[in-house]
Amino acid sequence: MKRALFHNKFLPWLLLAPQLIVTAIFFLWPAAQAIRQSFLREDAFGLRSQFVGLANYRALWGSSEYLNSFKVTLIFTVSVTVLTMVFALLMAVAVDRLVRSEKVYTTLLIWPYAVAPAVAGVLWWFIFNPSIGILPYVLSQIGISFNWIYDKTDAMIFVVIASAWSRISYSFLFFVAGLQSIPGSLREAAAIDGAGPVKRFFTITLPLLSPTTFFLLVVNLVYAMFETFAVIDATTLGGPAQSTNILVYKVYQDGFVGQNLGSSAAQSVVLMVIVIALTVIQFRFIEKRVAY
Amino acid sequence: MNRIFTASAVALIASLSAANAATEIQWWHAMGGELGAKVEEIAKNFNESQSDYVVVPSYKGNYVETMTAAIAAFRAKEQPAVVQVFEVGTGTMIAAQGAIYPVYQLMADNNEPFDPASYLPAVAGYYTDTDGNMLSMPFNSSTPIMYYNKTVFEKAGLDPNAPPKTWAEMEEASKKIVESGAATCGFTTGWISWIQTENLSAWHNVPIGTLENGFGGLDARLELNGPVQVKHWGNMKKWADEGLYKYAGPLGGDNAPPMFYSQECAMMMNSSGSRAAVVENSKDFELGYAMLPYYDDVEGAPQNSIIGGATLWVLQGRPAEEYAGVAKFFTYLSSPEVQADWHQVTGYLPITTAAYELSQEQGYYEANPGADTAIKQINLNPPTPNSKGLRFGNYVQVRTIIDEEFEALLGGSKDAQGALDAVVERGNKLIEEFQAQNQ
């Protein structure tokens, strides 16, 4: 790493100031507010406020809904990430083998990324609607009943597909770029040595793609955990019976709909801890195994 | 760019001079679409009727969003003078002493004539404290009624002019409809919480909670796991399994209207406030109206149904001259002409007796048969402590719990008793939390 030397003591701080101010105003201050609020019990209008220590946190651990939300978030996040990455990689490999029309396919596959999550949610709501949707109708013709309004598993499948859909394009684009940076000569050499297409993919392409895969793993996990609010809000509203109520959505429900600010703040502090932990784990342990 | 700047400068100057001429009153509401247009019209007519005040209505999204926006604005000291809050937010608003300006007090402070007795008892009762003082201004009130498809009834060999009165008749009619193939489902319903739980209780004169359904104070608790509610929820599950009833989703049950309009379900229980929309969307068949069904083996049934909808709350912390204008506006709003027009156009209840009588005189109910079903239903008997309404804190979330436990019942993971016990247990936890926050 290059080391810059400053003779003036204030100049480095001055140069850092814009970034520091933004961080302080938009990240540190709200986070401090959330931590403060999580120790208070307050009515909706903020007229009566009382320090209750860890009562809001204790209530969370005693709440089966909150523990359920953890389980739901885990299933949801892993499903969205796996579905997104497998699909994106599959399509990227397919496009990589194309000789002509590669650009056309890439452009077409990137389109879903331009659709706002809330709009995507509404589109999928129409497609999956049990009364007027095309998909449940087609499935019922072959004898499969798909009704996410009743069925918890169906609801989970529904939100996972709706959330993964637009992310596939994004991951796809990165995989395509990653694949193009792998020198063709390596694969050709392996082919000469007698490795088949499957063997070449797993022993050459996949390891060389690991920086891209690692990056996408991080962003997709973060996306599924924290940015899928709009999809849930436009489709299942966390139901039926809390089966799609992920942690982020629960913060909104308890804080904004229920006006229970103390509990909501405590939940966002827990989320904050999860983000910090995730970041540390990913960069400390997983990064070491990635061949850059 | 320059043109935009000039235009906005002109607009700014115009708004400043308007503010000098008349006192502006901010009114936040949750009425979108055609209802929103009607709200704008009411404000415009009031503004033209006098020159001292200008009421400025702003649409703030759905009921939850509007209430949240007003609370957030209050915390930031930017609150509007008037905000429309739905009936389940009543508990939260009443508890916020210091944030609200009770309407009876506002009217007295500004020497505006105000007589609570002129309002329909079922409407006024919901928003009155235990001393008989009205705390908020009734605006749009509705009650659930049953809409049914006369054409399907005829196809199924049922009398289209004799809709089912009891739940036993409901079951029988639904069976006939499904077995004859006239429709694929007997009935559906909006609002499991409001219609099939709260109104069910009031309609059978059984309590929703202790202390007169929460009217008596913050230490009231839910008790809607009684035999009537358990029997009904058990039946709903049975009918859902038999295909006689179709669940339409949580909260308002978004899928209920499409199922009724497409003639998939022959009957639908939903708000009388959606009457205009139902009429508009049922041109392919003949539409009928009926009161909610009841269990005839329950003593005291049918009692009277309870209302839903919203009222206007006045928030503290605005200049005194604004409150004088708000009082004038409320008098205008509850005048028989304004109310009768609002009632007839939207299908909401006329909130005053005078507006109801004016609509009768104008021949509205002869011209629109069925439009008075809702009024007859809330006025069927004088409200009892069980049928006045309900008042609990955190009730928005309690309603979500009702939906969730009903979904658990339909999914088969709980029986009716287990589901309703869970509603009471989980709901009471929230109500206790609310009590702790407000004491």
Preceding peptide of B102 cis, ω within 30°: no
- Under the banding of pLDDT at 50, 70 and 90, the label for residue B210 is very high
How close does chain A come to B74, measured CA to CA in Å? 7
Tokens of A108: 């077409």
Report pLDDT digits (tens) over B154-172. Answer: 999 999 999 999 999 999 9
Mean pLDDT of B23-33: 92
pLDDT at B438 over 90: no
Report pLDDT digits (tens) over A226-277. Answer: 888 888 988 888 878 888 999 999 999 888 888 888 999 999 999 999 888 8
Confirm or reject contact between B258 and chain A (CB < 8 A): yes
Handedness of CA B162, B193, A76, A109 (dihedral sign): positive
**Contact residues on chain A for B183, CB-CB shorter than 8 A:** none
Point out the residues of chain A with pLDDT beneath 70: 1-4, 99, 286-292
- SS3 (DSSP) at A3: coil
Four-point Cα dihedral A245, A249, A255, A259, nearest 10:
-60
Preceding peptide of B116 cis, ω within 30°: no
Report pLDDT digits (tens) over B219-243. Answer: 999 999 999 999 999 999 999 999 9
Q: A-B interface: how many C-beta pairs under 8 angstroms?
A: 87
pLDDT at site A275: 86
**Contact residues on chain A for B251, CB-CB shorter than 8 A:** 237
pLDDT at site A152: 87
**Contact residues on chain B for A44, CB-CB shorter than 8 A:** 71, 92, 96, 437
Q: Chain B residue closest to A40 (CA)?
A: B437
Domains B18-142+308-367 and B144-305+392-437 share a fold: yes
Confirm or reject contact between B95 and chain A (CB < 8 A): yes
> Domain B18-142+308-367 class?
alpha beta
pLDDT at site A49: 86
Query: Residue A241 and residue B264: Cβ atoms within 8 Å?
Result: no
Secondary structure string (H, E, C) spanning B416-430: HHHHHHHHHHHHHHH
**Contact residues on chain A for B396, CB-CB shorter than 8 A:** 257-259
Comparing CA positions, the residue from B124, B277, B252 lying closest to residue B196 is B252
pLDDT at site B380: 92
- Under the banding of pLDDT at 50, 70 and 90, the label for residue B370 is confident
Cβ atoms of B292 and B145 closer than 8 Å: yes
Mean pLDDT of B88-115: 91
pLDDT at site B1: 41
Where are chain A's structural domains? 47-289
**Which residue from B96, B250, B400 is facing A43, i.e. has the nearest CB?**
B96
Burial group, residue B10, by CB count within 10 angstroms (0-12, 13-18, 19+) = exposed
pLDDT at B11 over 70: no
Mean pLDDT of B193-212: 95
Query: A232 CB contacts (<8 Å, ≥6 apart)?
Result: A121, A159, A238, A244, A245, A246, A249
Report pLDDT digits (tens) over B305-352. Answer: 999 989 999 999 999 999 999 999 999 999 999 999 999 988 899 889
What single-letter amino acid sits at B411?
A: G
Best of B64, B403, B407, B435 to substitute, by most chain A Cβ atoms within 10 angstroms, is: B407
Cβ atoms of B394 and B214 closer than 8 Å: no
B362 CB neighbour count, 10 Å cutoff: 13
What are the Cα distances from residue B384, in Å, to B116, B228, B387?
18, 17, 5
Tokens of A9: 């003591």
Cβ atoms of A254 and A65 closer than 8 Å: no
Four-point Cα dihedral B368, B370, B371, B372, nearest 10:
120
Comparing CA positions, the residue from B209, B436, B398, B425 lying closest to residue A63 is B425
Query: B40 CB contacts (<8 Å, ≥6 apart)?
Result: B57
CATH no. for B144-305+392-437 = 3.40.190.10
Q: Which fold has domain A47-289?
A: MetI-like fold (1.10.3720)
